[in-house]
Amino acid sequence: MFQGGTAAAAIEMYLAAIPGASVVSSTPHPEPATGIMLAELDLAGLRVLVSDSAIDHGFDFTPSSSLFVDVADRAELERLVAELGEGGTTLMPLGDYGFSTAFAWLNDRFGVSWQLNLP
């Protein structure tokens, strides 16, 4: 993940939103203003690498690559949709689409795509 200088803020949001989430390791760039060189997160069992790119790329995230999260109950799904969706964009609003009890697809404010599911 290249967060364009926002990796620390993204990590804070993910740690607050996802129960049991933790930072496994984190290495800063040699120039502190550049941010995080590489961090490994454990998001409820899903290992994710996060990096602030020191290079300005001509691309960003694509929703065709998403983090898929199953939740245990409707309240947890609604909470995650609200917290991860704040400042982001909704791709599929929370609803029953026939393939699960409830589902939502969104891009968070950092551009990361999340598919949130209540089986």
Domains, the chain, in order of start with CATH, read 7-50 (no CATH), 66-118 (3.30.720.110)
pLDDT, tens digit, 9 for 90 and up, residues 27-61: 999 887 789 999 999 998 999 999 998 877 777 77
Within 8 A by CB and 6+ apart from 119, the residues are 70, 100, 101
Q: In whole angstroms, what is the distance from residue 93 CA to residue 42 CA?
A: 26
Q: pLDDT (tens digit, 9 = 90+) per residue, 2-36? A: 767 899 999 999 999 999 999 999 999 988 778 99
- How many Cα atoms within 13 Å fall on the side-chain side of residue 31? 6
